[in-house]
Structure 1
Amino acid sequence: MILDTLLWPTGSFWTSAGLGLGLVLVAYTAASTIVSWHRLRHIPGPPGVGFSKWWMLRKTLGGNMHLATKAACREYGPLVRLGPNQLVTNDPEVLRRIWAVRSPYKKGPFYEAVRFNPERDNLISLRNDTLHAELRAKMANGYGGKDNEGLEAVMDKEILVFVDLIERKYISTATEYRPVDLARKVQYLTLDVITALAFSKRFGYTEQDEDMYSYIKITEDSMPVMMFLSIFPWLAKVLQSRVFRRLLPSEHDHVGFGRFIAVAKQIVGERLASDQPKRRDMLGSFLAHGLTREEAEGETLLQIIAGSDTTATALRTTLLYLMSSPATYRRLTREIRSAAAAGRISHAVATDAEARELPYLQAVIKEGMRINPPVAGTMDVVVPEGGDMICGYPVPAGTEIGCSEFGVQSLASVFGPDADVFRPERWLEAEADAQGGSEQGIERLRQMNLTWGLIFKAGKWQCLGKEVALIELNKVFVELLRRFDFTLVNASKPWHSINAGIFIQSGLYTKITRAEPL
């Protein structure tokens, strides 16, 4: 009997052993939580954030993380704790320093979630600084337009197709009412522009006037999942493993990201098999500067996603604020239409140089992007070995620190006490003060421009597509506002907008009429 008990322990033994193991796990978890809380206990933040990521998860899944970090920085200061190992800042000087070219800071686990193709990294998700710098150098000329002399001509063609779509289907008159979801149509335009620029093969969203391959729908469904994974990046690694990879987008899918993975592979394959693989477009430039087939496939996919969504957000957000600000709308349309009537704008499509000579337009574009930065994820980086002193707080190595872009762009110390208001005049006032020669005015304008530039990040992680995006914005605003007038259908609920790192926006129903003569 004793031997049987030793060989085959009773149920009470297993119960006791299980209870003991459970107590050990609880004790270990409690100790780890306390240690994690303790190392950043001196940095202020919302209640409970030092013990779990619940606050971050709730704000992210609610689609308002960008506003929550802005509010947190206003309440607790320029450096705020958001999680057990997560901080966020709205200090422009800190961001410029940690993003600098020679900064020892590295990209954090946050970026594991933005591997759009689970099989390989892209320029955004690549966390190795050396490899990132090498890849960036190969792509700089393509994004900068140096290897694409016809960049503006390509944009012009797509803009005219978009104008034709409005003329054919969405002009309202005294007898016909044709409301249109401008948020959706604008994204059709930006998708066609980026695909035409990137590899000379437009997808035809605008011509077809539909969501080809259900790309936009799948993107809207997928981005919140990616943001969930950005809160728990270890889950991204699990899903990207061979065991679970079949659950993620695949080139064998017929719609969504998977379809675009296949399209990217097809485009690169056809280009490499052609007699002119290095023709003068972005893809040709990338290949000419040494991108491998796999790298080109990854960057082609990134261009479609990042290059279309962010520019579309800048366009539709600024249009919404214009339609909501009658005085601003009238001043801008008067500037554009007067320039067109005086022959200072090309008859077909305005050039970038012509648009840059319209000061109020430039102020409106800056203000639209400032009031609603198109990219609003925290984009965490990791404090290097030895730790750092940030905003007066010692921060230990390994801590993740992100950016509150909405917090940065609403700083009253930089943009004035009405920084939360869409008011393009602030840029013209600052320029006038600077031109007056006062040191204070010069410094104010410099700080405004430097801070606004952080919308595109800075240093080693500055957005390569910045200049292409600004050219597109210049042209589109001129062509739309010299031809048409725009009116919100429902001012009390103008659209649906949530933040998932980038913005998912729809339902911007608008009445479009032909422009009233001056």
Structure 2
Amino acid sequence: MILDSLLVWPTGSIWASVVLGLGLVIVAYKTASTIASWHRLRHIPGPPGVGFSKWWMLRNTLGGHMHLATKTACKKYGSLVRIGPNQLVTNDPDVLRTLWAVRSPYKKGPFYEAVRFNPARDNLISMRNDTLHAELRAKMAPGYAGKDNESLEAAMDKEILIFCDLIERKYISTENDYRPVDLARKVQYLTLDVITALAFSKRFGYTEQDTDLYEYIKITEDSMPVMMFLSIFPSLALVLQSPLFRRLMPSEHDRVGFGKFISVARQVVGDRISSDKPHRRDMLGSFLAHGLTREEAEGETLLQIIAGSDTTATAIRTTMLYLMSSPAAYQRLANEVRTADAEGRISPGVVADAEARELPYLQAVIREGLRINPPVAGTMDVVVPEGGDVICGYSVPAGTEIGCSEFGVQSLSSVFGSDADVFRPERWLEAEAELAEDPESERLKRMTSTWNLIFKYGKWQCLGKEVALLELNKVFVELLRRYDFSIVNPNKPWHSINAGIFIQSDLFTKVTRIPTKA
């Protein structure tokens, strides 16, 4: 026994020393790498502790208010702010135009890995190779521009009328019948039907059935905490997309959620390719006619659902909320729409896009609604190229990730005035009037070029911009020519969190018919 103890004890002591030594090496390495990471960007200001960990980013992201945190940070620390060990954010419009320019050497950051729907294939957003991205974008641009789609506006008109019919059937309040409606949810039904009608030529019928078909919205909202976490730690997305975990991802075999959309997309694209008219004049037909493969067409139609429905729904919800909260603005827009209707300046069915563009206050409201709450508020990081760069007067080393504080950009008092945090559509009309009086005035040009950054810029400008504006031009006119809207609970009008895109619900609204014309 004594001999055994003498033989075992030294061995155990050696292993304990080895383990302790390895632990000390790991701690020393992590400490050195943390200090080195802090040191390379130490000259750029930011909130306390951001140089040592991503805790500040994680806390604000999971709290659903990263968009406001970056806005506040830029106001406090300047136009270039450090928010993580290797992460910066800017609210400078000129810097963003430089980073996003067509010939910019900046590339998309690792964040984009997390927005792959198919682990084996990129889509237009997740694609980080600029050459491949430009090629795919060129094939898709005609479909988004409407050049190959003769019925785009008519298809949208049909969905808007179905949406108005839903309100008419189920959600009109009268003196004797109070029927509040969650406008946030119903608006998303509309935008889902619009985008599936345009993308698939096969509307899902959310509005008609007045329900969350396939639980798409519920499952999308439930999965947001995971997506928010992956946006901070994008390397984990590659783990989830690996063959080991791929079966946990949405699949065409799912009966609900995003997987159901994958199944429908594959069926619709397959049916179209095997039909006698694969190049029918709609968005899918345009994609195929310009060279998208079957797999690319499936992926891009799925992308349209998320990028097209959620963002447009946010724009409609937010603008309606701010209008209902601003009686003077609401009444001015309602008067403009109803006067145009009474004078026959807008079509009796659904307003034409060209007619809506002639309503100046409507255009100001649309711009102000998008400005006050940009629908896409993720930082969307890009990577500093080899050789580094000088940004906002700071030397920034290669490999650093730089994101955009879109809420910070759109609230710049130097661009939009001292009341930039206020929803006030009149600022756009004032800038137009100033330009009319003084052709050399730069105010409107500066406001417009900054506002356009909502849709990004250059090589990453949103292809769906004109389709989204077309929908907004029609929706507000058709709602306000028929109905009046008021918030049910002004103290807590809705629930809204930011996950790069917005998750919004419980915008309970009272809807009444406007008085019938004599």
Same fold by TM-score greater than 0.5: yes
Deviation, structure 1 residue 195: 0.7
1:498 matched to 2:497? The reply is yes
CA distance in 2, matches of 1:143, 1:239: 32
CA deviations 1:192-237 (Å, max 9, x no partner) are 0011111210000001100010001111112331121010011011
Which residue does the alignment assign to 1:307?
Answer: 308
SS where residue 10 of structure 1 aligns?
Answer: helix
SS where residue 283 of structure 1 aligns?
Answer: helix
CA distance in 1, matches of 2:5, 2:424: 85
1:142 matched to 2:143? The reply is yes
SS where residue 442 of structure 2 aligns?
Answer: helix
CA deviations 1:304-363 (Å, max 9, x no partner) are 111100000000100000000000000000000000000000000000000000000000
Which residue does the alignment assign to 1:157?
Answer: 158
Which residue does the alignment assign to 1:476?
Answer: 475
In the alignment, residue 352 of structure 1 is paired with which amino acid? Answer: D
1:260 matched to 2:261? The reply is yes
461-470 or 249-258: which moved more?
A: 249-258
Which residue does the alignment assign to 1:507?
Answer: 506
Deviation, structure 1 residue 265: 1.1
Which residue does the alignment assign to 2:127?
Answer: 126
Relative to the length of structure 1, the TM-score reads 0.98
Which residue does the alignment assign to 2:13?
Answer: 12
**Matched-pair contact (CA < 8 Å) for 1:117–1:261:** no
Deviation, structure 1 residue 6: 8.4
CA distance in 1, matches of 2:490, 2:396: 45
CA deviations 1:51-86 (Å, max 9, x no partner) are 000000000000000000000000000000000000
Mind listing any 5+ residue stretches in structure 1 that lack a counterpart?
none
Which residue does the alignment assign to 1:47?
Answer: 48
Which residue does the alignment assign to 2:420?
Answer: 419
Which residue does the alignment assign to 2:212?
Answer: 211
Change (3 A) 1:7 1:180: same
Deviation, structure 1 residue 248: 1.5
In the alignment, residue 166 of structure 1 is paired with which amino acid? Answer: I
Which residue does the alignment assign to 1:115?
Answer: 116
In the alignment, residue 365 of structure 1 is paired with which amino acid? Answer: I
Deviation, structure 1 residue 437: 1.9
In the alignment, residue 206 of structure 2 is paired with which amino acid? Answer: Y
CA distance in 2, matches of 1:451, 1:277: 40
In the alignment, residue 29 of structure 1 is paired with which amino acid? Answer: K
CA distance in 1, matches of 2:328, 2:5: 91
Deviation, structure 1 residue 438: 4.8
144-153 or 115-124: which moved more?
A: 115-124
Deviation, structure 1 residue 118: 2.8
**Matched-pair contact (CA < 8 Å) for 2:106–2:382:** yes
In the alignment, residue 508 of structure 2 is paired with which amino acid? Answer: Y
In the alignment, residue 491 of structure 1 is paired with which amino acid? Answer: P
83-92 or 196-205: which moved more?
A: 196-205
CA distance in 2, matches of 1:295, 1:2: 72
Which residue does the alignment assign to 2:198?
Answer: 197
In the alignment, residue 211 of structure 2 is paired with which amino acid? Answer: E
CA distance in 2, matches of 1:94, 1:217: 38
Which residue does the alignment assign to 2:358?
Answer: 357
In the alignment, residue 449 of structure 1 is paired with which amino acid? Answer: T
Which residue does the alignment assign to 1:516?
Answer: 515
**Matched-pair contact (CA < 8 Å) for 1:199–1:284:** no
103-112 or 114-123: which moved more?
A: 114-123
245-254 or 104-113: which moved more?
A: 245-254
Deviation, structure 1 residue 276: 1.1
Which residue does the alignment assign to 1:176?
Answer: 177
CA RMSD of aligned residues (A): 1.5
CA distance in 2, matches of 1:66, 1:136: 28
271-280 or 402-411: which moved more?
A: 271-280
SS where residue 487 of structure 1 aligns?
Answer: strand
**Matched-pair contact (CA < 8 Å) for 1:116–1:257:** no
CA distance in 2, matches of 1:49, 1:508: 35
Deviation, structure 1 residue 120: 2.0
In the alignment, residue 444 of structure 2 is paired with which amino acid? Answer: L
Deviation, structure 1 residue 3: 12
Deviation, structure 1 residue 465: 0.2
Relative to the length of structure 2, the TM-score reads 0.98
SS where residue 499 of structure 1 aligns?
Answer: strand
Which residue does the alignment assign to 1:458?
Answer: 457
**Matched-pair contact (CA < 8 Å) for 2:195–2:308:** yes
CA distance in 2, matches of 1:401, 1:314: 26
CA distance in 2, matches of 1:459, 1:228: 28
CA deviations 1:78-117 (Å, max 9, x no partner) are 0000000000000000000000000000000011111133
**Percent identity of the aligned residues?**
81
Which residue does the alignment assign to 2:221?
Answer: 220
**Matched-pair contact (CA < 8 Å) for 1:118–1:248:** no
Deviation, structure 1 residue 28: 0.2
**Matched-pair contact (CA < 8 Å) for 2:200–2:265:** no
Which residue does the alignment assign to 2:240?
Answer: 239
Which residue does the alignment assign to 2:299?
Answer: 298
Within 5 Å, which residues of 2 pair with 1:271-350?
Answer: 271-350=272-351
Runs of 4+ displaced beyond 3 Å: 1-9
Which residue does the alignment assign to 1:399?
Answer: 400
Aligned length: 516
